[in-house]
Amino acid sequence: MDKIIPLSIPGAELRFLEPTPANAAELFNVIDANREYIAPWRNSTTVKKIGRSADALSALEKYKTEWNERSKFTYWIFFDGKLVGNAQLENLNFEHGSGNIGYWLAADYTGRGIATSAIAALEKIAFVELGLSRLEIRLSPGNERSENLALRAGYVYEGTARQDYLSTYNNTRNDSKVFSKLKSEYKG
């Protein structure tokens, strides 16, 4: 599994981050500056739990463990050398050949196609390298940017999973709109 992957948007790449104090500080800073932009939509323990730099270090350690166990692959999106977002392959199930894609961007880096290019890179890993047959994107009703992104990337809306998760943002049971792409639909 490559730890640095160039994206199709010039200046953008995915990187695995080692759990170092410097990386943790950079992660904390981008999350802290974008907390209210990301948190309502991304049920991310990272955003919820990272209240200080030490939390970011613990999160990076956990992501490294998950990476080594091949249970979740967490990449960080860089643009011109700056950490600007997150892209993950999660809920991996190699028996059933399935997984989910998760993502967020710092608000200032939206609108440039960076998330679209990150999804394309994760699809290549999932379908080509890992041999998965199904990828899912789950998003909250009302998350128009994420829904546009999923549709633009060619994901098919399957329906709404009712109250399928407890939101870390407002502690309510939220619905998810479920989108998927099959390997047979992957255009490379």
Ligand X SMILES: CC(C)(COP(=O)(O)OP(=O)(O)OC[C@H]1O[C@@H](n2cnc3c(N)ncnc32)[C@H](O)[C@@H]1OP(=O)(O)O)[C@@H](O)C(=O)NCCC(=O)NCCS
Applying CB under 6 A, the residues found at the interface with ligand X are 9, 37-38, 41-42, 103-105, 110-116, 139, 143, 145-146, 148-149
Cα(72)–Cα(75) distance, rounded to whole angstroms? 10
The count of other CB atoms within 10 Å of the CB of residue 97 is 17
Q: Supply the minimum distance, in Å, between the C-beta of residue 177 and ligand X.
A: 9
Question: Which of 40, 97 has the CB closer to ligand X?
Answer: 40
User: Minimum CB separation from ligand X for residue 169, in Å?
Assistant: 11
Among residues 36 and 129, whose Cβ is nearest to ligand X? 36
| Long-range contact pairs involving 163-168 (C-beta distance under 8 Å, separation at least 24) | 164/138, 165/43, 167/43, 168/39, 168/43, 168/44, 168/45, 168/47, 168/48
Tell me if residue 44 falls in helix, strand or coil: coil
Q: How far is the CB of 36 from ligand X (least distance, A)?
A: 10
45 vs 65 by CB, closer to ligand X: 45
Name the DSSP class of 141.
Answer: T
Shortest CB 146 distance to ligand X, Å: 4
CB of 3 to ligand X, least distance (A): 22
| Nearest residue to 75 (alpha-carbon basis) of 124, 23, 41, 118 | 118
Nearest to ligand X of 65, 160 (CB atom): 160
- The three-state secondary structure class of 4 is strand
**CB-nearer residue toward ligand X: 74 or 146:** 146
